[in-house]
């Protein structure tokens, strides 16, 4: 009969396999979604699941990092090689993302590790040096939170401006292609080809004469 301890060991073994086929990607733009990540990695891997890591220290839902589960370890290695060997940009800011192997502690939901007992306790004022150390850490955390907020606000402004520029560029390209398509459909392409064809013939004749002289 299978015991609860054996079940726990099997659950953690399955979790470790999942970790090995998962990669951690950060430096992601807030504009990046699960579908964007799947499309970006489609050339080397099949994305099974995407879990964005939420930054709870700021009042914005900004996905700056994600755990991406792939089919197997081979695909995970191929994706890591692709992103580490070449500058790999996924939407948003024109900066390459960073990728590394996932680690168990990165997962929000993970089974408890078998044969390990954890103990927790509150640090009180009478604990002396431990209490003072935690107090200093709390002050430092608040200072870092304020600095982080300033950086996040600046990043949001840059992302918004970049998204606007990219949309304007896309709109401009669309208008160009639309104009070319209209030229082809209304028959003006033939007259343009004849006009520029004669111009090319004139230029060729000119350069041939220059060579002879």
Structure tokens at 96: 């390459």
The predicted structure's pLDDT at residue 2 = 45
Alpha carbon distance 23, 53 (integer Å): 13
Q: What DSSP element (H or E) covers 47? A: strand 47-52
Domain boundaries, the chain: 4-106, 130-212
The predicted structure's pLDDT at residue 188 = 63
Single pTM value for the model: 0.60
> 4-106 has which CATH code?
3.30.70.330
Q: Would the CA dihedral through 159, 160, 161, 167 be positive or negative?
A: positive
The predicted structure's pLDDT at residue 121 = 73
The predicted structure's pLDDT at residue 23 = 97
Structure tokens at 176: 């160009």
Length in residues, the chain: 213
**What confidence tens digit (pLDDT) does each residue in 50-72 have?**
999 887 767 766 767 999 999 99
The predicted structure's pLDDT at residue 17 = 94
How many CA atoms lie less than 13 Å away from 165 in the CB half-sphere?
10
| Per-position b or e across 188-204, b if 16+ CB within 10 A of its CB | eeeeeeeeeeeeeeeee
**Is 15:104 a contact under the CB 8 Å cutoff?**
yes
The predicted structure's pLDDT at residue 201 = 59
Query: How far is residue 127 from each of residues 61, 133, 140, 207, measured CA to CA in Å?
Result: 37, 10, 20, 92
Segments of the chain scoring below 50 in pLDDT: 1-2
């Amino acid at each position: 009969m299978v015991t609860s301890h054996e079940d726990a060991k099997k659950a953690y073994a399955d979790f470790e396999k999942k970790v090995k086929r998962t990669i951690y990607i950060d430096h992601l733009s807030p504009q990046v979604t699960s579908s964007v990540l799947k499309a970006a990695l489609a050339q080397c891997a099949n994305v099974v699941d995407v879990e964005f890591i939420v930054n709870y220290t700021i009042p914005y839902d900004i996905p700056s990092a994600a755990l991406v589960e792939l089919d197997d370890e081979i695909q995970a290695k191929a994706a890591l090689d692709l992103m580490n060997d070449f500058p790999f940009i996924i939407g948003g800011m024109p900066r390459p993302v960073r990728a590394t192997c996932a680690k168990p502690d990165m997962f929000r939901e993970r089974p408890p590790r078998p044969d390990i007992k954890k103990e927790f306790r509150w640090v009180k004022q009478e604990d002396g040096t431990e209490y003072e150390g935690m107090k200093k850490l709390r002050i430092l955390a608040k200072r870092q939170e304020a600095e982080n907020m300033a950086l996040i606000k600046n990043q949001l402004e840059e992302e918004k401006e970049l998204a606007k520029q990219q949309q304007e560029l896309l709109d401009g390209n669309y208008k160009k292609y639309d104009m070319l398509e209209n030229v082809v459909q209304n028959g003006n392409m033939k007259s343009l080809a004849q006009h520029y064809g004669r111009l090319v013939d004139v230029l060729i004749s000119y350069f041939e004469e220059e060579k002879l002289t």
